[in-house]
Homo-oligomer: A and B are copies of this chain.
């Protein structure tokens, strides 16, 4: 196994950080690596807000569900799908032609562009000895987060990412069996679902050990509880308000 594969296989989300700053040089290396990810037709339809001001991080931590690590990490990156820049720079060369920036297709393009760049950034950060964790919580109160960061129309925060030096060594959570996510030459319904039974057992054993015997909920039951929760039902209206997915 080569060093890069080892790094990928060794990923853990870090939720406790040392007081060590992330240097400008490190941040630049991380974002430059992010920029080299693939991008649909070179549109580069994403932006990233690096939040280092303590007061701003504190407010974002509160808006994202009071997660202490958002406040405590030295740099909090907010990864945004961004069609605003494209809209601005194309206003003149469009020469009066209609713009399709507001299609569901371009919404997907921008969201995927942001995610690919972010994952490159995550790997770059880890290669530099830093730890990261993705924060979906920026979507909890997405309108307030957007306002706080001054995000214009056609920009939305897809997720946040804490970056810093790890102050913990968490264990690695097992993943679904390979045969549950990998299908050969066509979607294998039965195989994909059946493999979850073995995973339920694996996750029960994992939880029992992690909680000293207190928890042993199978994965499928944890997932059922999650799907039963009406989480972030504001998203559809928010997107349309921001100029996305009107077509």
Contacts and interface: CB of A to CB of B under 8 A. Distances in A.
A180 B151 CA distance: 14
A85 B180 contact: yes
Nearest to A159: B112
Nearest to A136: B40
Contact of A31 (B5, B34, B92, B181): B181
Given A4-B127, A11-B37, A193 B105 contact: no
Interface of A: 1-5, 7-11, 13, 27-29, 31-38, 40-44, 46-53, 56, 80, 82, 84-90, 92-95, 97-101, 103-106, 108-109, 111-112, 115-120, 122-124, 127-128, 133-134, 136, 139, 149-152, 155, 158-159, 173, 175-176, 178, 180-187, 189, 192-193, 196, 218-233, 235-236, 239, 245, 247
25 contacts: A5-B29, A8-B123, A11-B37, A27-B182, A31-B178, A36-B175, A42-B222, A43-B226, A44-B176, A44-B181, A46-B181, A47-B182, A49-B187, A50-B183, A50-B184, A50-B185, A85-B196, A92-B224, A100-B230, A103-B235, A104-B235, A106-B227, A112-B158, A151-B187, A152-B189
